[in-house]
């Protein structure tokens, strides 16, 4: 399940399940969004991106959905594997001209074998 | 091809001291970004350098500063260290502006202020 508190929200799933990680972004003018994966002791790694003129984009085992009406992004991971365990961040660009990525607080995904 | 490299990996300083963190971007990348990641928090944007110039700055006090060298490597300096500066400092580089090109992150420098 998912819990929110002083610590990162955590999503615990079983191996093979589909995972959905949600993110509320802050600025309706943002026009580019990225999901990053950060494993323990490593820097964030690009997973998938989407522009504001799209509402869905698919990659390998991952799908990003964008709902501009409610400023909501989701990352769907199919057939989740233990190697997917990490913290996932969504990021938005508030002003493409100034090229600043603004990150959300992140969600920890824990995958049990 | 080497990724973004940061040094040192870990740094321990006492309150009031200065810290210098270094970043080497991927070869050919001209933009370098610095982020602070405090424990349990998301990444907070610090600085963006491109072609040797500071292009944008996050909401941090002036004691956070940096520069970009002609070879596009970058340095982040934190003066008058405070305990709350303890964090993972991440550097990223991109070929162009983010939005046009992917940003690649280094593994970070863990700064501990005691």
Chain B: closest CA distance from residue A68 (Å) = 18
Chain A residues in contact with B40 (beta carbon < 8 A): 6-8
Tell if the CB–CB gap between B42 and A103 is shorter than 8 Å.
Answer: yes
Contacts of A101 (CB under 8 A, 6+ apart): A34, A91, A92, A93, B33, B43, B45, B98, B103
pLDDT interval class at B87 (50, 70, 90):
very high
What is the H or E stretch that residue A7 is in?
Answer: none
Between residues 40 and 79 of chain B, which touch chain A (CB distance below 8 Å)? 40-45, 48, 50, 55-56, 58
Q: Is B97 in contact with A42 (Cβ distance < 8 A)?
A: no
Q: For chain B, what is the mean pLDDT?
A: 93
Peptide bond into A93 cis (omega under 30): no
Name the nearest CA neighbour of A64 among A80, A17, A54. A54
Q: Residues B68, B73, B78, B83: what is their CA dihedral angle, to the nearest 10 degrees? A: 150
- Per the model's pLDDT, the better-predicted residue between B38 and A5 turns out to be B38
- pLDDT tens across A17-63, in order? 999 999 999 888 888 999 999 999 889 999 999 999 999 999 999 99
Per-residue pLDDT at B22: 98
CA distance A110 to B7: 30
pLDDT confidence of residue A98: 64
What is the per-residue pLDDT across A61-97, written as a single tens digit (0 to 9) for each?
999 999 999 999 999 999 999 999 999 999 998 765 6
Q: Is the pLDDT of residue B107 over 80?
A: yes
pLDDT (0 to 100) of residue A102: 87
Instruction: Kindly identify which residue of chain A lies nearest to residue B43, measuring between CA atoms.
Output: A103
What value does the CA radius of gyration of chain B take, rounded to a whole number of Å? 13
Give the integer Cα–Cα distance in Å for B91 and B105: 6
């Amino acid at each position: 399940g998912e819990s929110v508190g002083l610590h990162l929200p955590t999503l615990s799933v079983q191996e093979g399940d589909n995972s959905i990680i949600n993110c509320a972004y802050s600025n309706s003018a943002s026009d580019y969004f990225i999901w990053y994966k950060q494993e323990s002791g490593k820097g964030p790694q690009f997973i998938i991106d989407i522009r504001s003129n799209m509402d869905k984009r698919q990659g390998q085992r991952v799908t990003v959905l964008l709902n501009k009406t409610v400023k909501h992004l989701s990352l769907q991971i199919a057939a989740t594997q233990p190697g997917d365990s990490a913290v996932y961040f969504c990021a938005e660009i508030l002003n493409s001209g100034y090229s600043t990525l603004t990150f959300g607080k992140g969600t920890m995904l824990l995958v049990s074998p | 091809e080497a990724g973004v490299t940061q040094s040192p990996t870990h740094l321990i300083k006492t309150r009031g001291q200065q810290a210098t963190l270094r970043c080497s971007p991927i070869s050919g990348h001209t933009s370098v970004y610095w982020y602070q990641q405090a424990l349990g928090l998301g990444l907070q944007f610090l600085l963006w350098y491109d072609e040797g110039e500071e292009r944008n700055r996050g909401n941090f006090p002036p004691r956070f500063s940096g520069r970009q060298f002609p070879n596009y490597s970058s340095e982040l300096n934190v003066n008058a260290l405070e305990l709350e500066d303890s964090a993972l400092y991440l550097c990223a580089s991109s070929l162009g502006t983010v939005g046009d090109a992917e940003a690649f992150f280094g593994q970070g420098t863990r700064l501990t202020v005691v």
